């Protein structure tokens, strides 16, 4: 039987592209999950490995969808070879349980891990450079402009309820509460100077 495994790293990413490829490849059952490759916790992969038996084929679109790093990839694929499971990586081909197949596997996984590490390094370098700028702010950009928040706080001060202001300004009650708390703290700090 042909099984597929699809994985993306974040909740916001879409599995559809991988699933379409796996269906085209003739996978009868597809296991899918949204877990970062850096975590060992991948329940769907664990269940799939338990399900596979001798003569089955596991299909993945790319090797890094299956493994977190070189060591992890070699362990997973060797355990599958030991069970008599064929492994087909779409962008590489059928991985065989031969000396050449194992060498090819180790080389590919090492390159994929190096590529991931380089991406992390470049991201960290970019952040370090950005932190040197005066206008750098860590984290997500603010969703609401300062004027919108000020208007909402003014409405609260005029006696409107948090719920009314939230519905009117399309700002969540929790955001309004935080803004109100921050404004109060700033007013106290200003008064104490």
The answer on pLDDT for 12 being more than 90 is no
Please tell me the predicted confidence (pLDDT) of residue 50. 94
What is the residue-averaged pLDDT of the chain?
86
d(CA 35, CA 43): 9
**What digits encode the pLDDT tens for the residues 73-119?**
788 888 999 999 999 988 777 777 778 877 887 887 788 788 888 98
110, 112, 87, 107: which is closest to 97 by C-alpha? 87
For the cut 70, the answer to whether the pLDDT of residue 129 exceeds it is yes
For 66, which DSSP code?
Answer: H
How far apart, in whole angstroms, are the C-alpha atoms of residue 79 and residue 27? 21
- Say what the pLDDT of residue 38 is: 60
Q: Could you give phi then psi for residue 58, rounded to 5 degrees?
A: -105, 130
E-strand stretches of 10-68: 29-34, 57-60
The whole-angstrom separation of Cα 58 and Cα 83 is 12
Q: Is 9 a catalytic residue?
A: yes
Catalytic entry in 9, 99, 161, 172: 9
Strand, helix or coil for residue 183: helix
Kindly report the pTM of this predicted structure. 0.56
Token pair of 4, please? 């597929």
> Per-residue DSSP letters for 129-168?
HHHTSTT---SSPPSS-HHHHHHHHHHHHTT--HHHHHHH
Q: Which residue has the tokens 């948090």?
A: 162
């Amino acid at each position: 039987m042909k099984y597929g495994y699809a994985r993306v790293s974040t909740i916001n990413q879409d599995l559809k592209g991988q699933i379409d490829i796996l269906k085209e490849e003739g996978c009868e059952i597809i296991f899918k999950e949204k877990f970062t490759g850096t975590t060992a916790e991948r329940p769907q992969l664990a269940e799939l490995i338990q399900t596979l038996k001798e003569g089955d084929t596991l299909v993945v679109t790319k090797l890094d969808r299956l493994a977190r790093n070189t060591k992890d990839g070699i362990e997973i694929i060797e355990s599958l070879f030991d069970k008599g499971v064929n492994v087909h990586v779409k962008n590489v081909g059928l991985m065989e349980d031969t000396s050449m197949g194992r060498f090819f596997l180790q080389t590919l996984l090492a390159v994929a891990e190096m590529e991931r590490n380089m991406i992390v390094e470049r991201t960290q370098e970019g952040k370090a450079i950005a932190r040197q700028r005066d206008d750098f702010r860590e984290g997500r950009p603010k969703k609401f402009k300062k004027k919108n928040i000020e208007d909402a706080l003014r409405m609260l001060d005029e006696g409107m309820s948090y719920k009314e202001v939230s519905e009117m300004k399309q700002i969540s009650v929790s955001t309004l509460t935080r803004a109100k708390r921050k404004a109060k703290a700033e007013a106290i700090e200003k008064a104490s100077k």
